[in-house]
Amino acid sequence: MKYNLTSRDRLIWPALLFVVIVWVGCVSESDEPKLSLYRFEKPSHFPEPTYTFQNNDVNEKGFKLGKMLFFDPSLSRDGSVSCSSCHVQSHAFADTWLHPFSFGVEDREGVRNSPPLFNLAFQNEFFWDGGVTHLDFAPILAIESEIEMDESFENLVHKLNNHAQYPRLFKEAFGVEEVTGPYVLHAFSQFMLLMVSADSRYDQFVKGDQNALNQEEIEGLLLFRKHCESCHREPLFTDLSYRNNGVQKVITDLGRETITEVSQDRAKFKVPSLRNIEVTSPYMHNARFEGLLQVLNHYTEGIQEQVNIDPLVFEDGKPTIKLSDPEKEKIIAFLKSLTDDNFLNNPIFFNSNE
Amino acid sequence: MKNIKSKLAISIVFLFSSLFFSCQENENPNSISQGEMIVEFDNYVGNQNMVIDEVGSTNYRYSTANGQEFNLTRFGYYISHVRLEGPNGEVFIDEMNASADANQIKGYYRVVQGESDTYNIHLKNIPEGQYNKIIFNLGVKEDGIQEGAVGGILDRAAGAWFWNWNSGFINYIIEGHSPASLRDENRLQIHIGGWKNIPSADENPQRFFDNNVEVSLPFDATVRVSETMRPSPHIIMDLLKVIGDTDLAIQNNIHSPAAAVPFVQKLAEAFVVDHTHQ
């Protein structure tokens, strides 16, 4: 069939215009300028995001409202802790080494290490056990957990409605007369969705800058791809699966089994991303290791036979990963090239609350 | 130049026509007559009307088949994906929409015992015709969860029955007290939820359970919906059909999809259309 460019061409502009007008006229009434600073943009080398942006697109007012909530300790039952208490930007929104486990109201100690927060738009399941299946729902668990903020989500929304500023800010961001649960969660998500970490020296390297990594780091990358890649898959540095890598000497935390209710998932935890790993010590859900060398030593020598131990790291009665000391140094050098200083220092995330 | 002008002219026509049409409410394009139906839910425990008692009450109004007494402090269920069918191929599918805006939520209903305004489900925009069957989903399916935060009766901050640790709604909730339960306050909690199946691919058992239940109920008589006729089927739900054979000494603390499976198999049988008002 012959392709008739001109007749088709004639139809394209009115058709496009039609689509744009319908879209602008009925879907979005946004009158604010589209500042790229507050828009979600998929890094070119990343997969498509999975977040439901069609229900909650990021904009400046929603983002800033989410930030205000994130830093606000009055959300917790006694006003003592905020999200930012355990999620610190300079640590890629993980906790500092001072708190190996999350901490909550009345200095209650949690049971797992606070995970870092970034690249959440690309994940389908949240927390170490993956029980939360949508980013919007993640804050509810931290808010209502007795060992974290210990506040009912219902009462939190009640407090926001009686606050001097929040009702006006919700109206400006979402056009609502009353603060309700979904808009609180949408604001949180907007703040977290822009936590995209994709600008480390490794990223510069894979995007074509051959000088972004030095020789040792490049050798580390090759070793990483040989020994670690099957679980910590690029570019997110996780395959988003759940595995038991043997970090519990005695299994006290059932991990993924709590959610799926099958013993085959006992002691499995989500494979964490390794981006910004340099600043997220201590490591593992139980904060067992303070240093990266300890982690690598665990994989080469530390793992013991255990129920559901992952065959990729332990088989035939011994650890599968074999690394010499110089190889470990190279891998660690490479892992440090995953630190994204622009993300860790991005001023849009700075606390601007009073 | 001429080409550009004609393009412009066409564009302008499109612009105005689309401005004109795109935002209009587009109701009854073929002017088919529509009507309404009110589906009434009436909850029973055996042959007793269901009554909600205060938390802590030791007034045990009901008992199971083996004589274990209990009362209820909270009871209700979600209903969604309502469909009507008629003898001549009539089909009405209730529109569904999950949204953060409570006013935009469509097709989700919640019956809460003790709140009489929740007992009647008001179906609208039903094509005129005869109907003799109602089918609905008991619970909230994936399409009400994976769109993210939603409002109204699905807003946890407004009392929605939602699991925060294993995302999903409690489709059918039973709370009360029973002397047979040796938990604190003789507590009885049966929370039935779960919205996905991950079937076993190997020797492993199934992960998660979709505990949504399709309930299909023939009417006792064919009814007619029209602009002037608004029939009302009256559905009776009997809790004893669900927990009448349960040993409340053991099954008094159900909070997960797998644990709820034995109850789920009985849920569809708990509902029956008692009679229909034309």
Query: Which of the residues in chain A have pLDDT under 70?
Result: 1-35, 354
Three-state DSSP at B176 gives strand
Q: pLDDT tens-digit profile of B55-81?
A: 999 999 999 999 999 999 999 999 999
pLDDT at B2 over 50: no
Q: pLDDT tens-digit profile of B161-170?
A: 999 999 999 9
Q: pLDDT tens-digit profile of A35-89?
A: 478 999 999 999 999 999 999 999 999 999 999 999 999 999 999 999 999 999 9
pLDDT at B204 over 90: no
Number of domains in chain A: 2
Asked whether residue B16 is assigned to any structural domain, the reply reads no
Look at B18 and A52 and tell me if their CB atoms are within 8 Å.
no
Look at A134 and B146 and tell me if their CB atoms are within 8 Å.
yes
Asked whether residue B175 is assigned to any structural domain, the reply reads yes
Q: pLDDT tens-digit profile of B216-234?
A: 999 999 999 999 999 999 9
Q: How far is A13 from chain B (nearest CA, A)?
A: 7
pLDDT of residue B233: 97
Pick among B165, B198, B203, B255 to test the A interface (most A CBs inside 10 A): B165
Mean pLDDT throughout B243-250? Answer: 97
pLDDT of residue A14: 52
* Alpha helices in A253-340, H assignment, sequence order: 257-260, 292-297, 325-336
Number of domains in chain B: 1
Look at A17 and B11 and tell me if their CB atoms are within 8 Å.
yes
Asked whether residue A137 is assigned to any structural domain, the reply reads yes
Is B20 an interface residue toward A (CB < 8 Å)? no
Which residues of chain A are within 8 Å of residue B15 when distances are taken between CB atoms? 17-18, 21
Residues A270, A189 share a domain? no
Chain A 53-92, CB below 8 Å of chain B: which residues?
55-56
CATH for A115: 1.10.760.10
Residues A314, A305 contacting (CB under 8 angstroms): yes
Is A146 an interface residue toward B (CB < 8 Å)? no
Residues A248, A328 share a domain? yes
| Residue A188: closest C-alpha in chain B | B149
Q: Which helix (H) or strand (E) holds A202?
A: helix A201-206
Asked whether residue B167 is assigned to any structural domain, the reply reads yes
pLDDT of residue B278: 82
Nearest CB neighbour to B19, from listed A25, A55, A265: A25
Which pLDDT band holds residue B264 (cuts at 50, 70, 90)? very high
Q: Report DSSP letters for B55-112, one per residue.
A: TT-----EE-TT--EEEEEEEEEEEEEEEEE-TTS-EEE---B--SSGGG-BSEEEEE
pLDDT at B34 over 70: yes
pLDDT of residue B114: 98
Interatomic CA distance for residues A26 and B25, integer angstroms:
11
Asked whether residue A350 is assigned to any structural domain, the reply reads no
Pick among B5, B103, B166 to test the A interface (most A CBs inside 10 A): B166
Q: Report DSSP letters for A66-102, one per residue.
A: HHHHHT-GGGSTTS---HHHH-BGGGTTB--TT-SS-
Look at B167 and A154 and tell me if their CB atoms are within 8 Å.
no
Asked whether residue A306 is assigned to any structural domain, the reply reads yes
Residues A163, A225 share a domain? no
Which of residues A177, A197, A217 is at a domain's end?
A: A197
Asked whether residue A36 is assigned to any structural domain, the reply reads no
Domain that holds residue B272: 32-277
pLDDT of residue A249: 95
Record the tokens describing residue A345, joined without a space.
Answer: 């220092």
List residues bridging with B109 in a β-sheet: B79
pLDDT of residue A4: 45
Asked whether residue A122 is assigned to any structural domain, the reply reads yes
Mean pLDDT throughout B105-117? Answer: 98
Which of residues A136, A167, A197 is at a domain's end?
A: A197
* The dihedral sign for the CA sequence B129, B135, B139, B145: negative
Which residues of chain A are within 8 Å of residue B194 when distances are taken between CB atoms? none
Domain that holds residue A315: 201-338
Residues A242, A191 share a domain? no
Look at A137 and B99 and tell me if their CB atoms are within 8 Å.
no
Q: pLDDT tens-digit profile of B80-95?
A: 999 999 999 999 999 9
Is B38 an interface residue toward A (CB < 8 Å)? no
Asked whether residue A219 is assigned to any structural domain, the reply reads yes
* The dihedral sign for the CA sequence B148, B150, B154, B160: positive
Residues A273, A207 share a domain? yes
Mean pLDDT throughout B235-256? Answer: 97
Closest CA to B144 of B184, B172, B187, B108: B108
Which pLDDT band holds residue B5 (cuts at 50, 70, 90)? low
